[in-house]
């Protein structure tokens, strides 16, 4: 779980070019969008695509996707529950 969360933080930083944010600064429960990390819908697409590829999850269900993308913690829970290779 801890390794997965670390991986997810790295992926978020790389996919969205968050040059001025480090892995340590992203807290597990911090909201990723709007407040918290401050990502937007364009960033969401940049994150979702590599997540689908890497962990075999699908973000097709809008309600589920919204819950999963709330924080690093919810994302890790989602991948463990639904991922094919997580």
- CA-CA-CA-CA torsion for 62, 65, 66, 70, nearest 10 degrees? 180
Provide, rounded to whole angstroms, the least separation between the CB of residue 46 and other proteins.
5
Nearer to other proteins, 42 or 85 (CB): 42
Nearer to other proteins, 50 or 56 (CB): 50
Measured in Å, how far apart are the chain's first and last C-alpha atoms? 10
Provide, rounded to whole angstroms, the least separation between the CB of residue 23 and other proteins.
17
- Using CB under 8 A as the criterion, which residues of the chain lie in contact with other proteins when the complex forms? 16-20, 40, 42, 45-46, 49-50, 53
Strand ranges in the chain using DSSP code E only, listed in sequence order: none
Read off the tokens for 1.
């779980």
């Amino acid at each position: 779980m801890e390794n997965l969360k670390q991986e997810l933080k790295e992926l978020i930083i790389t996919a969205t070019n968050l040059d001025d944010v480090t892995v340590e600064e992203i807290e597990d429960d911090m909201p990723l969008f709007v407040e918290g990390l401050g990502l937007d819908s364009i960033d969401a697409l940049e994150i979702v695509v590599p997540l689908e590829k890497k962990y075999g999850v699908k973000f097709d269900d809008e309600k589920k996707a919204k819950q999963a993308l709330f924080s690093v913690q919810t994302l890790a829970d989602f991948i463990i529950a639904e991922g094919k290779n997580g």
